[in-house]
Amino acid sequence: MSLTVDGLASGLRHIAVALLILAGSVFVAHAHQVNLTTARIVLGPGGTVSVDVALKGSDVDRATGTAIFNEQTGLVDPERLGRSTGPISDYVAGLAVVMGADATPCATPHPPAVVPDGDGVIVRQTFSCKAVRGDLVYRSKVLLDVEPSARQVVLIGASEDAPQALLDARHTDVVLNNAAPSLVFTLRQYLATGVEHIFLGYDHVAFLVAVVLWATRLWPVIKIVTAFTIAHSITLSLAALDVVVIPSEIVEPAIAASIVFVALENFFSRNVDRRWIVTFVFGLVHGFGFAGALQEFGLPRGAIVPALAAFNIGVEIGQIAIVSIVVPVLIGLDRLLAADGAAPVRASALVYALSGTITVLGSYWLLSRIHIA
């Protein structure tokens, strides 16, 4: 099968424009979606239980149809919040409850209070569980109705080293009298979090795609993935354990700059064999970005090392899956576009079109993150 160069270039230009529009729309759609809430639960005297659920303002607006989040300031508008406390308190009260192990609900003597908290809100509830016998159970399905991948970090106790659990769509309950989750549960949760983070981290995906666009053999890809893994594992561990801390205002623009660099490099070099060196250097930067995501969830005391290892393995699984999809697709296109009887060759127009798209996306992320900083 053969195609003219002009026809191929024209088709690829249309593909690049479509990819740009799609990628841009995906980024905008998720720019302010956090999908992570926290709950602080304190067991008091006389069977009272206080629950503070913290949500980002943008997530509140998606879930309740309110408009409390101000895009210009990045904060919750107190005046708008004052007009919207009813639907917000009703929403959280209906999805975050304390009950007995037999599903006997605890009483709620007072309606929830809603207070602003910077870029989010805190919904405070008090439960009276005097009539409940046996273990108490906290159940939360907050945000799961609008985003099935949403999670909630639950801290049980008022102290800084309070036990914590991580709830999601598959695990919505935690027993308050036995707050520490099992090691298997912790490993499974943080492994899944690592996998999902790499797939939802569009900047990391763009970086991985850009560095393998010229790859036609397995060995260079193995070196690239291994170098990236070793590098981000080092900085992820150092940052997550608070050994080395770099502000996100520096890390996030640096990640965007790394994407622009590797995408532009595709226009000037096809040397994939030595690209593992560049990937290692930028992998150190991306590791700090992974750590930022992990720190949002926190590391459970008593299982810090296993949780960190599971998250790192999850990230590795995700990036291997991405590369395992991208490289075979590129090789398949090489064969499809090759002239009859000719050996497959990576089409320059294809690489340039995709690299140009990634360059534009990376530049947009870079400028927006510098502006935010």
Tens digit of each residue's pLDDT (9 = 90 or more) over 41-91: 988 887 889 999 999 998 999 999 999 988 877 788 989 999 999 999 999
CA–CA distances in Å: residue 59 to residues 41, 102, 182, 199, 308: 21, 31, 30, 20, 27
Q: For the segment 237-293, what is each residue's pLDDT rounded down to a tens digit?
A: 888 787 888 888 888 899 999 999 999 999 999 888 888 999 999 999 998 888 877
Which residues on neighbouring strands pair with residue 99, listed in sequence order?
105, 137
**Alpha-carbon span 101 to 219, nearest angstrom:** 54
Global pTM? Answer: 0.61
Q: Is 339:254 a contact under the CB 8 Å cutoff?
A: no
Which residues on neighbouring strands pair with residue 187, listed in sequence order?
none
**Alpha-carbon span 317 to 158, nearest angstrom:** 36
**Alpha-carbon span 309 to 233, nearest angstrom:** 9
**Farthest CA pair distance, the chain:** 83
Q: For the segment 190-204, what is each residue's pLDDT rounded down to a tens digit?
A: 888 888 878 877 888
Q: Which residues of 197-213 are buried (b: 16+ CB within 10 A; e: fewer)?
A: bbebbebbbbbbbbbbb
- pLDDT score, position 200: 76
Type of residue found at 364: Y
Q: Where are the beta strands (DSSP E) in the chain?
A: 36-43, 48-56, 69-70, 75-76, 96-100, 113-117, 120-128, 136-140, 151-156, 164-167, 173-175
- pLDDT score, position 260: 95
- In this structure, the strands spanning 96-100 and 164-167 are unpaired
Q: Is 153:186 a contact under the CB 8 Å cutoff?
A: no
- pLDDT score, position 5: 44
CB atoms within 10 A of CB 353: 23
